[in-house]
Amino acid sequence: MDWKKSLVTLKKHVLTGTSHMIPFIVAGGVLFSLSVMLNDVPATPTEGWLSGLAKIGEAGLTLFIPVLGGYIAYSIADKPGLAPGMLGAYLAKEVGAGFLGGMAAGFIAGYVVKQLKKIKLPTSLKSLGSIFLYPLIGTFVTGAIVIWVIGTPIASIMEGLTNWLAGMGDAGKIPLATILGGMTAFDMGGPINKVATLFAQTQVDTLPYLMGGVGVAICTPPIGMGLATLLAPKKYNTEEKEAGKGALLMGCVGITEGAIPFAANDPLRVIPSIIVGAAVGNIIPFLLGVLNHAPWGGLIVLPVVEGKIGYIIGVVVGAFVTAIMVNLLKKENTDNENIKVDEEDFELEFEEV
């Protein structure tokens, strides 16, 4: 097996998915960010026109994982893979698997349908293959794997992690801050992130120092990646540089998902970088005694933060650690190769900058 060729093929499928996902996450994320920024408190608006604006933004943030999975499957198996990939990724989101689960669902659906297409159908059924049989069977198989193979263990893992964190109260601030920060960044809104953030959010009234750190860790991944595109623009393709602008805004209002386009394109370099940056950013407020009285993150919570300077230092240091680390790991033009996706209806090409 030619591993290098296989990796290039996998990357082509991921790039197809992320190229279609980015408009959803940027449009949804920016509109949701604006609704939170214009709200009187750092929380999702529930009344008036801001509530409507938030719902529009939430629609984009709800759909980006299904779109990611759907177009990964589309890249692998053409049109018959689109519905199984999109529905499988939606289910992955529903069971709490996050964007990583959505990507996995896309690959599962794509390769299931690709294998189904190799089965020779009778002439009378050939016309039904692409529009009925392949999507139907592909959706069932993918959905079953997501719900029973991926979803069930995730619930147990989340419960176990929550209990583990609850037992770390006497472990010391630095170990706890490191673990919470890394978990918050790891899957950017996925199950690991949710365990860490909910652990802090549910204790915001009694232990506000937890949100003092986690509020920083929530925003350093997108701010750090946005900063990285500004510090080393030649290491990012055009779409990533545009996503970086939206990521900066999303980070400021506490939307960790702003870093997902970068992590999906280059997980081996991006995910370790955002984990380290978030862990460092989380430690600083813990040590400086910062208190955040809102169950939210980002710079938007500054009005209710005690120890604002320490909070800002945590954000700045964490973001720079992320940006510097990821840019050191990335090679010049790593993601700027001309990659053509030979599909029926479109051609995707990333040009060098």
Q: Is the model's pLDDT at 341 over the cut of 70?
A: no
Query: Is the separation of the CB atoms in 206 and 169 below 8 Å?
Result: no
Q: Is the model's pLDDT at 77 over the cut of 60?
A: yes
Q: What's the half-sphere exposure (Cβ side, CA atoms, 13 Å) at 272?
A: 10
Q: Is the model's pLDDT at 4 over the cut of 80?
A: no
* Residue 33: Cβ-neighbour burial (10 angstroms; 0-12, 13-18, 19+): buried
Cα 114 to the chain's mean position, in Å?
A: 27
Which whole number is the average pLDDT over 83-95? 95
In this prediction, residue 342 carries a pLDDT of 44
Which whole number is the average pLDDT over 105-132? 88
Segment (H or E) for 305: strand 305-306
Residue 230 CB neighbour total at 10 angstroms: 13
pTM of the model as a whole: 0.84
Cα 124 to Cα 121: distance, rounded to the nearest angstrom = 8
At residue 306, φ and ψ (nearest 5 deg) are: -100, 120
Which whole number is the average pLDDT over 249-261? 93
Q: What's the half-sphere exposure (Cβ side, CA atoms, 13 Å) at 230?
A: 14
In this prediction, residue 343 carries a pLDDT of 43
Model confidence over 268-296: pLDDT tens digits? 999 999 999 999 999 999 999 999 998 99
Instruction: Tell me the pLDDT of the chain averaged across its residues.
Output: 89
Residue type, 320: F
In this prediction, residue 201 carries a pLDDT of 92
Give CA torsion, residues 189, 169, 161, 262, to 10 deg. 30
Which whole number is the average pLDDT over 202-228? 95
In this prediction, residue 164 carries a pLDDT of 87
In this prediction, residue 311 carries a pLDDT of 97
**Reported confidence tier of residue 112, pLDDT bands at 50, 70, 90:** very high
In this prediction, residue 302 carries a pLDDT of 93
In this prediction, residue 1 carries a pLDDT of 55
DSSP state of 181: H
In this prediction, residue 170 carries a pLDDT of 59
The winner for highest mean pLDDT among 199-213, 253-267, 275-289 is 275-289
In this prediction, residue 347 carries a pLDDT of 44
Which residues, 6+ apart, have CB-to-CB distance to 47 below 8 Å? none
DSSP 277-295: HHHHHHHHHHHHT-EE-SS
Q: Lowest mean pLDDT: which of 29-43, 96-110, 231-245, 274-288?
A: 29-43
Query: Residue 181 to residues 23, 170, 200, 336: CA-CA distances in angstroms?
Result: 28, 17, 11, 31
Residue with more model confidence, 345 or 324: 324
Judging by DSSP bridges, how do beta strands 291-292 and 305-306 pair with one another? antiparallel
305 strand-pairing partners? 292
Which whole number is the average pLDDT over 141-155? 91
In this prediction, residue 340 carries a pLDDT of 46
